[in-house]
Amino acid sequence: NAGVTQTPKFRVLKTGQSMTLLCAQDMNHEYMYWYRQDPGMGLRLIHYSVGEGTTAKGEVPDGYNVSRLKKQNFLLGLESAAPSQTSVYFCASSYRASGEETQYFGPGTRLLVL
Amino acid sequence: AQSVTQLGSHVSVSEGALVLLRCNYSSSVPPYLFWYVQYPNQGLQLLLKYTTGATLVKGINGFEAEFKKSETSFHLTKPSAHMSDAAEYFCAVREYTNAGKSTFGDGTTLTVKP
């Protein structure tokens, strides 16, 4: 049981390049989330998914797209990277979204956009 | 709308001293409250959570927090700090009406001096 895993762990992009971050969970969780963490700030929600084939916007969705084609995977895409997207990206999942459910976090992906 | 304020971005204590990390929240409905710990280059790990019932919640590593509705607070404490407690701590609030979306505070970095 690996929990929540993220690929890659670290990436450097040039402005305008694209990339996809992969989040995978093996806990059969329905809900998955993408957050970004910037220095001196807490995590901010980018997009989330309440089930396979469904996605929704979070607090800071601009410049990102997501897909949930399989229940266990949640992909975060950057179509044209910008320096403002330099951040640490965390994926999380939970069994339900009843509020009290524990969210399990991945180890993070560090992204540097030059 | 939900929000979280963590008072003090940096807290420094001596080993063996009391740890007190402050968190105040705002929520339009009864909230679920969480404390997470993040060690360097790692994801967030749940320390404890308050959902319903007993207002004093005990978590891992000797931490506890008390939900005080009248003060809209959920401060984190530990009677005796250990060097291994040095990390960043995040308070988070979640409303059961909000699809499980969490709002995080900006974090408090705890330093433990020998």
The rounded distance, in Å, linking the Cα atoms of A8 and A76 is 12
B1 has pLDDT over 80: no
- Range list of β-strands (E), chain B: 3-7, 10-14, 19-26, 31-38, 44-50, 56-58, 64-68, 73-78, 87-95, 102-104, 108-113
Identity at B54, one-letter amino acid code: A
Q: What is the mean pLDDT of chain A?
A: 92
A37 has pLDDT over 70: yes
Whether A4 and B107 lie within 8 Å, measured CB to CB: no
Return the closest-CA partner of residue B88 out of B2, B5, B4, B6.
B6
Write the residue in A41, A44, A97 that is nearest to B100 by C-beta. A97
B contact residues 58-87, partner A, Cβ 8 Å cutoff? none
Write the residue in A42, A94, A108 that is nearest to B43 by C-beta. A108
With pLDDT > 90 as the criterion, what percentage of chain B qualifies? 74
Q: Does B42 touch chain A (CB under 8 A)?
A: yes
Q: Does B94 touch chain A (CB under 8 A)?
A: yes
Q: What mean pLDDT is predicted for residues B73-99? A: 90
The pLDDT score that the predictor gives to residue B102 is: 84
The pLDDT score that the predictor gives to residue A69 is: 95
The pLDDT score that the predictor gives to residue A68 is: 97
